[in-house]
Amino acid sequence: MKYTPHTCVCILVLSTLGSCGGKILRIEAESAKGNNPKRYRSNASNGEDVWLHRGAMLSFSFCLIRETNASINNVMFSNDGGADTCSVELNGVEVGEFESTAGSDGGLLWNVFKSSGSLGSSMTLESRWNTITLLVNFADDYGIEIDHIDVNIEDDEVNEDIFTCILPCLSDLPVVTAAAPGLTEGRAVQRSYSTQCAEEDNVDVAIFNTDVTKYEITASLPTYRSFLNLRDEDTRNCPFLTPIYWLYENVIVSPNIKSLTSNSSELFFGDKAAPEPYTITKIAVTFTLEGRKKGYIDSEIGSTLYMTMNSPDAPSDVVVSYSHRNGTIIEFSPVTFSDSLTSAVWNIPDFTWKEDLTNNIFVTVQSTALDQQLVNFRLERRYMGPDVVIPLYSSGRIVLEGIRVDFWWQAPETMELVRPSTGDTWNNIAYFRIYVSLPWSDGYSQVFVLYQDGNMRLLNPTPHGLDWTPFGTSVILGQTDVDDFRPAVSITKVEIEPEELTMKIIYSDGSSTDAKLVTSIEQTKLYVSNIDFKKSTTTHPFATFRSMYVQVGNTDSDSIVSDTSTTNPILGGDWTTINGTSFLLYRRCESKHLTQSPDIRLQVTETE
């Protein structure tokens, strides 16, 4: 593209303003490239503007992700001299013009900005590279100064990265077809919620079909093409990852201290009659913990209580006890704090606390000292050891591994793996994973993981030239409770023949399915058949998509399409139910989170 001396392409400084019809994106004129002079103006929205003369123009490109109505909401300008006339174009079509008012105040009017108001009506623009151009059609020798342009985009999903074309997005969207004619139509039901944590599976789409007897799940390379392979964890905005339940620091041990709070806990003080010269101070901490209802482990896993006191003038006898979920009070042996012992640790076992109900820790401190102080008093989730990998099978084609975890979120439930052809059995498995050999190297690619809670991760083989690519969107195999915050099933046993990649999955309610894994160069498929469900297929989904969406460009999926519907945003749209027999979760815009993680398609292939 050639540029004239008066042409500049804007690299935008944007701010997003509210609009009842979408979003108003503000373009700061001084962010334009080119030779047009910039002027410092204290009343300009960003402290400076651009000085233009007759025949000059500002032009910038912007991108959209779907056919969208756009309009010029406002142009802010200033003038100190004769009247000037400017016009604004969208994709080369003039949408309106405005005129500055003649007037002069010795140059002071350059810092008095005026509004053009909206220009023309909205235009329907395509999901491609679009342009806005401002032309100075007439101006006196002093010209005109442009502060910013406000553009109204009637699409709430458009953000700054999309608008400035930094974030590549698909123009040609995928089409999904039914596997065969005459299949019973099912539905996808929206159960997702918003999050700012990129490691939280907030996308929850339940798939129902009353007559399903066979279906298949396919993992394939992302529809978009990207050379990025971003795959690091992003735990920002993920507060649930902290191991500290509550913490109190530098607290005087005295019955006269008022109650204190920390997180979901409250610390109380009281006294108890004691023989001279001793005093007994009673301390109680009440707190709540979240557990399986919300997909957490805090109310189930054990914890560690830490206490550090200042060096007292006299020994202090400390007794710690707690209320168990079964209603009993468990008391630890006394600990004497002194100059030589100022810290102590108490380990509280798994399955002690209650979920969502009040838990209690009690402390009594007996001493003649009057200067006792809790320097640090806290309760933490206990240490969790690393996962233990159990080699189960290995050949020149397949590797099978079982994983035992220190504390599984559905504990004490576990999964048993059985190899029927040999009788081999492995117990206490939280999940297992399968690798296939790569034809272009001597390595293996992980393509399948199945967890005890039914969560199944599927991945196409690692493309040639990459070391590994990440999993992303997953599917829960089996009938979940659609109202659960973290949907799950309970798999008790999997019978697997690793070389044939066949499985029989058995659930705690007696349900079962067969599955077969098939890989090719570009995709991995899981064929599910012989479905025997024990719960109603009307009220319980047979599978559930799980994924992540923070905002466009930071997702594991951002769109859903079926064989009976066009693409919908996975979150933020107005859909609640999508009918169909085939459903695809994919990303139309490149993601900075798990960039090469696959698109996942679920396709019903047979119904009764």
| pLDDT tens-place string over residues 401-458 | 999 999 999 999 999 999 999 999 999 999 999 999 999 888 999 999 999 999 999 9
Residue 243, pLDDT above cutoff 70: yes
Domains of the chain in sequence order: 14-163 (2.60.120.260), 186-231+388-607 (no CATH), 240-381 (2.60.120)
What's residue 129's pLDDT? 85
Contact 245, 289 (CB under 8 A): yes
SS3 367: strand
Burial readout 257-293 (b: 16 or more C-beta within 10 A, e: otherwise): eeeeebeebebebeeeeeeeeebbbebebebbbbbbe
Q: In what order do the strands lie in the sheet with 129-138?
A: 57-63, 129-138, 85-90, 93-99
pLDDT in tens, 385-410: 999 999 999 999 999 999 999 999 99
CB 77 within 8 A of CB 144: yes
**What distance in Å separates the CA atoms of residue 390 and residue 416, rounded to the nearest whole number?**
13
CA distances (Å), 214 to each of 309, 415, 605, 608, in order?
64, 24, 6, 9
At 241, the pLDDT band (50, 70, 90 cuts) reads low
C-alpha–C-alpha distance, residues 587 and 582, integer Å: 17
pLDDT of residue 6: 32
Q: Which two tokens stand for residue 179?
A: 């596997």
Q: Which two tokens stand for residue 131?
A: 């342009």
Answer yes or no: are the C-beta atoms of 145 and 50 closer than 8 Å.
yes
Residue type, 468: W
Q: What per-residue confidence (pLDDT) applies to 21?
A: 56
What digits encode the pLDDT tens for the residues 159-193? 888 998 888 898 889 999 999 999 999 999 999 99
Q: Is 111 helix (H, G, I), strand (E, B) or coil?
A: helix
Cα 536 to chain centroid distance, Å, stands at 31
Q: 472-518 pLDDT, tens per residue?
A: 999 999 999 999 999 999 999 999 999 999 999 999 999 999 999 99
Euclidean distance between CA atoms 566 and 178, whole angstroms:
14
Residue 194, number of CB atoms within 10 A of its CB:
10
Tokens of 263: 């997180």
- pLDDT at position 32: 74
Contact yes or no for 570/549 (Cβ under 8 A): yes
The whole-angstrom separation of Cα 172 and Cα 598 is 18
pLDDT greater than 50 at residue 197: yes
Alpha-carbon distances of 202 from 36, 227, 490, 510, 582, rounded to whole Å: 47, 27, 20, 29, 22
Sequence-separated (6 or more) residues with CB below 8 Å from residue 87? 94, 96, 97, 134, 135, 137
> β-strand 244-252 against 373-381: which pairing, if any?
antiparallel
Q: Return the amino acid letter for 596.
A: Q
The pTM (predicted TM-score) of the whole model is 0.86
pLDDT tens digits, residue range 332-361?
999 999 999 999 999 999 999 999 899 999
Long-range contacts, stretch 424-430, CB < 8 angstroms, 24+ apart: 424/392, 426/390, 426/392, 426/402, 428/404, 429/390, 429/402, 429/403, 429/404, 430/387, 430/403, 430/404, 430/405
Phi, psi of 602 (to 5 degrees): -115, 125
| Residues 502, 500: Cα–Cα separation, whole Å | 5
Paired tokens of 487: 């949907």
CA nearest 144: which of 74, 85, 191?
Answer: 85
Q: CB–CB of 320/374 below 8 Å?
A: no
Residue 157 has pLDDT above 50, yes or no: yes
Residue 571's pLDDT is what?
93
Torsion of CA 163, 167, 168, 170, to 10 degrees: -70
